[in-house]
Amino acid sequence: MLEREYNEEETQGHEQIAQVRAQLIELTHDATIVRDASSVILYWNRGAERLYGWSAQEAIGQVSHSLLQTRFPVNRETVDALLATGQPWEGELIHTRKDGKQVVVESRQMFTHVTPDQPAFILEINRDIPERKRREREKVEVDQLRLAAIVESSEDAIVSKTLDGIITSWNLAAERMFGYSSQEAVGQHITLIIPEELRAEEEMILSKLRKGERIEHFETVRMRKDGTRLDISLTISPMKSSAGQIIGASKIARDVTANKRLQRNLQFLSEASKVLSSSLDYKTTLQTIARLAVPHIADWCSIRMLSENGSLEPLVIAHVDPQKVQWAWELHKKYPVDMRAGHGVAQVLRSGTAEFVPFISDEVLAATAVDDEQLALLRNLGFASGMTIPLLLEGKAIGTLTFALAESARRYTQADLTMAEELASRASLAIQNARLYREVQQSRDQLDIILHGVADGIVVYDSHSHIIYANDAAAQITGSPTVQALMETPATTTAARYEVVDEQRQPLPPSQFPHRRVLSGEPEAEAVMGYKARGTGQAERWSLVKSRPILSERGEVSLVVTIIHDITERVLAEQRKDEFLSMTSHELKTPVTSLKGFTNILQRRLTKQGDQQGLHYLSRIDAQLNKLTKLIADLLDISRMQTGVLAFEREWFDLDGLLDETVENVQAATTTHAITIEGRTGAQILGDKDRLGQVFINLLTNAVKYSPQADKVLVHLSREGNQALVSVQDFGIGIDEVYHQRIFERFYQVSDPEERTYPGLGIGLYLSKAILERHAGSMTVTSRKGEGSTFAVALPILQEEGVK
Amino acid sequence: MQGRRKKILVMDDEPDILEFLQVILEEEGYAVLTSDKGEFLEQLHNGGLPDLILVDILLSGKDGRAIVRHLKRQEETRHIPVIMVSAHPGAEKTAREAGAEDFLAKPFEIDALLAKVANYL
């Protein structure tokens, strides 16, 4: 029929070519079949006759897949659908021959039109697969069977589906995992196991598969037949037909619920740790943790703490449903923890070890309940799995942490217990930290109360001289309205606001304040400071201020602690005393002046009368009056030194010259001792020449006075570095070492039962020492009882150009 | 006696001091006027101007230095030398600032006083 149409329409030349082609087709070994769109055989060559056993006459007009009982790899429609698109199809088909034997052929098919307006027909060339190839195929089939066996025995669910999502295979693991049998699942749509909210995910998977992409380790959630969910990891590969066409997908699903749980536990542990370290209020943090635990870690979480009276009180009970929480509290009130119970929280608390009940049976519930009502309640709650872990503090249980599963139908595993124990140990640590902190805080509070209670002002400075702590007394003494005000006042403001003076009422620069001296390296500093707020008319106040450093590990001054002892009262009392002394000494001088005057008149009269005896008595009176005058003068000097009104001259003078002069004067008044000067200082001194002269007179007259048995006094002059040294040595009774410090004290004199009293020693030495100190000098004594004394004076030699 | 006796005005609020000074100074040949209240102007007009004034710094109710300043401001008294005395040795500076020619701390040696007086007369 084909040839005939050809013949009619084509030219003679074409006809001949067509005949040759037809003969070629007839001669080929391959079965060549032409069929129309409804598979009715139109042409059947000799190759087809040989392969299938049917002659062309028998075959033509038959429906090809019926005649050959064709078995398609997928189905006929799929092949036809593809051919309809104009693409060739290649694949293997199984045909049944006339003799009933099956033959596997490689088939190549193509849809074609002779002209567009004529009906389409299909060209099909089938080639027998030789025996060798057939054996290979059988082997492949065996392999496939083996593969199928493996698939069946796999732990992972292996499911295949078409691109439309219809399940085509379902292994044993899938049956176990999802709860559907193979029979129930195959033929169903895959959405069978996809939760409602994840349906969109399947669309994404299918679209990837259609593009030939593979999906690996895709973590998602699937649904079991009983409606519970499970976490799975999916690996999905496109399935290709032998023609390379994607026809479906194989899906391997792994149950990762355990993994997921572990991951969730770790995440919870990490979040809980963050909460625990976030605050020192452990009650709040534990409550937060219990709430964090539900519903992912537990359906119920409760934390109980041992109260002071020994009962175990819930700190928190957490559940997603607040109504249930309230109900649980009521339950607790009705059935408080029986501390003697041999199970549950009481037992955990007593033993200090965890209780783990992965599966709570009804027997367990029955053993727990104290009465039928409670049992009914517990049954109603449906506790399925639970664990209680002790919270240990220094080895002693102080509370319990309970996790329980109920409605979610999960069960705790050993891994969950490990997690809970870890959490409990972290919570215990947090509680311990909180308690330690509270103790430290308490002792700090106590210290603070003490510090604020003491009468002395306490101020702590940092290394930049900023106040970092001050107590109430410090604020009060310094006249600040509050501690805060004191701390916030900058040092410069303080300096501007207050007039600060030293003991001698000389202005005290801030660099000389004790804390500043300690900051610049002194190991300890002390000063009497008088201060008065400028322009406020407030009475001045006096303090004894002591500073000590607090050293860092590297030995640097990190803090300075200053103690301000208010001595205003004492200073005022001394001032009154000094004023009294000043006035008294002044008043005393007036009668002495009169006494001296009249003594003098008498002396003149007696001289005229030649009354030697009378004149001798009068000279004794006059000498005593002079001593009295000296005492009064010293008294006045001391009092003025104290009140700071003793004026000092500042002029340059030659120290050696002053000593020559002084020694000469004292020598003139003494006949018993020879005073000798040894050495020279060569020093020019800036200061009050008269006052310093007074010091040396004092030392020389003392030396004479206290060595009545001796006949000499030695004065040594020398220079050591930038210091001029003057020492006055006598060979008298000496001073016991125990008095060495005290002889410089005001009004002190050596007088013990065995010794004679030497009046006047105290005032003179005190005054001398004070004068030397005003010249930045010093005085020391070396002496032994019975071996004489040496008083040594050191005065700094200043560079002239360095003096203002 | 050669010519007129030199006249010394002594002012002190202590009568005993005035008395012994008067005795000694008169023995030394001076004419002595005394005042215990610093009412020197009366004295000046009574017997003419003195040749020297000896005055205590603290007089009852008056400051000796104020008197000295006044005298040193007056043309007719400016030339009269003034020696101030005081039980306050530190007062020498202020006495000299007020205009006193000299200063003597109480209690003093009579010889020292007489030497100073003689120095100005």
- Segment A672-710, tens digit of pLDDT: 999 999 999 988 888 888 889 989 998 998 888 888 888
Single pTM value for the model: 0.41
Strands B31-35 and B7-11: parallel
- Domain membership of residue B58 (yes or no) is yes
Q: Which of B90, B93, B110 sits opposite A597 (nearest CB)?
A: B110
Tell me if A641 sits within 8 A of A504, measured CB to CB.
yes
Number of H helices and E strands in chain A, helices first, is 26, 28
Task: Look at residue A800 and tell me whether its pLDDT is greater than 80.
Answer: no
The whole-angstrom distance between A475's CA and the closest CA on chain B is 40
- Domain membership of residue B2 (yes or no) is no
Q: Which of A592, A646, A647 sits opposite B107 (nearest CB)?
A: A592
Q: How confident is the model at residue A803 (pLDDT cuts 50, 70, 90)?
A: very low
Task: Look at residue A459 and tell me whether its pLDDT is greater than 70.
Answer: yes
Strands A789-796 and A778-783: antiparallel
The whole-angstrom distance between A579's CA and the closest CA on chain B is 14
Q: Which helix (H) or strand (E) holds A234?
A: strand A229-240
Select from A716, A695, A668 the least CA-distant residue to A768. A695
Domain count across chain B: 1
- Tens digit of pLDDT for each residue in B10-53? 999 888 999 999 999 999 999 998 887 766 655 565 667 889 99
Select from A109, A117, A87 the least CA-distant residue to A35. A109
Residue B87: CATH number of its domain: 3.40.50.2300
The string over A273-305, giving b where at least 16 C-beta atoms fall within 10 Å of a residue's C-beta and e elsewhere, is bebbeeebebeebbbbbbebbbeebbbbbbbbb
- Domain membership of residue B1 (yes or no) is no
CA–CA gap between residue A354 and residue A402 (Å, rounded): 10
Q: What is the DSSP letter of A744?
A: G
Give the best residue of A600, A621, A648, A691 to mutate against chain B (max B CB count within 10 A). A600
Sequence-ordered list of residues with C-beta below 8 angstroms from that of A141, at least 6 positions apart, any chain: none
Which residues of chain B have a CB within 8 Å of the CB of A647? 90, 93
3-state SS record for A76-92: HHHHHHHHHCCCCEEEE
CA angle A745–A747–A753, rounded 5-degree value: 95
Q: What is the pLDDT of residue A593?
A: 92
Phi-psi label, residue A39: left if phi above 0, alpha if psi -120 to 50, beta otherwise: left
Find the residue in B nearest to A597 (Cα). Answer: B20
B63 at the A interface (CB within 8 A)? no
Instruction: Give me the half-sphere count of Cα atoms (radius 13 Å) on the Cβ side of residue A753.
Output: 0
A633·B89 Cβ contact <8 A: yes
Mean predicted confidence (pLDDT) in A722-750: 78
Lowest mean pLDDT among A402-411, B51-60, B91-100: A402-411
DSSP codes, A504-529:
TS-B--GGGSHHHHHHTT-S-EEEEE
B20·A598 Cβ contact <8 A: yes
Task: Look at residue A659 and tell me whether its pLDDT is greater than 90.
Answer: yes
Q: Give the domain extent around B92.
A: 7-120
Lowest mean pLDDT among A330-339, A391-400, A407-416, A419-428: A407-416
Strands A300-306 and A312-318: antiparallel
- Tens digit of pLDDT for each residue in A127-156? 887 766 767 767 777 777 777 777 777 778
Task: Look at residue A287 and tell me whether its pLDDT is greater than 90.
Answer: no
Average pLDDT, chain A: 82
B27 at the A interface (CB within 8 A)? yes
Residue pointed to by tokens 């539900």:
A294
Which residues of chain A have a CB within 8 Å of the CB of B87? 586-587, 589-590, 593
Give the best residue of B106, B108, B111, B114 to mutate against chain A (max A CB count within 10 A). B106
- Tens digit of pLDDT for each residue in A505-541? 788 888 889 999 998 888 899 988 888 877 777 778 8
Tell me if B80 sits within 8 A of B54, measured CB to CB.
no
